A = this chain, B = another copy of it.
Amino acid sequence: MSLESAVGKMRGRGYKVTPQRVAVLGALAAEQHQSLEGIRARCPGVGMVTVYRTLDLLGSLGIVRRLDLGDGARYELAADHHHHMICESCGDISEFEECPLDSARIPTQNQGFEVRSHSVEVYGRCAACL
């Protein structure tokens, strides 16, 4: 999810491209899995309310994804499909690309459920904490 395509999505849907929104996008691009506090620190000139509203907007556009991994809300740019490995000791979050889900074993057919997305989180201890 490049900054240009995000801006294009906003323009395409009739939303204005303001410096504040661009600043929030830039903050999100700097690091994945940031807390609201972290994002705010990266765009000092933007009011808290605007950060909240921008994250909502970007979320509804599918540009950012909100994570709840047990320690409050975190946000990531919804780029590629990936999953999370969370260390229960130090809280470090790492990503992995290969999807370990076997879709054949998701019991959707008999329940008539249409899958649109999924998430996988693996909890444990990272190498540094062992």
Query: In whole angstroms, what is the CA distance A99 to B5 when docked?
Result: 36
User: Given B108, B112, B124, which contacts A115 in the complex, CB threshold below 8 Å?
Assistant: B124
A111 at the interface (CB under 8 A from B): yes
The answer to whether B108 and A85 have CB atoms under 8 Å apart is yes
Which residues of chain B have C-beta atoms less than 8 A from A130's C-beta?
A: 112, 114
Q: How many residues of A contact B (CB 8 A)?
A: 38
Report how far A118 CA is from B124 CA in the complex, Å: 8
B113 close to A105 (CB less than 8 A): no
> Given A100-B105, A107-B98: A125 and B118 within 8 A (CB)?
no
Check: A60 CB closer than 8 A to any chain B CB: no
Q: Are A116 and B112 in contact (CB under 8 A)?
A: no
Contact A120/B123 with A66-B70, A103-B100 known, Cβ cut-off 8 Å: no
Q: Of the candidates B66, B85, B108, B120, which one forms a contact with A111 in the assembled complex, judged by CB atoms under 8 Å apart? A: B85
Chain A 87-100 per-residue mask, 1 if CB under 8 angstroms from chain B, else 0 = 11000001010111
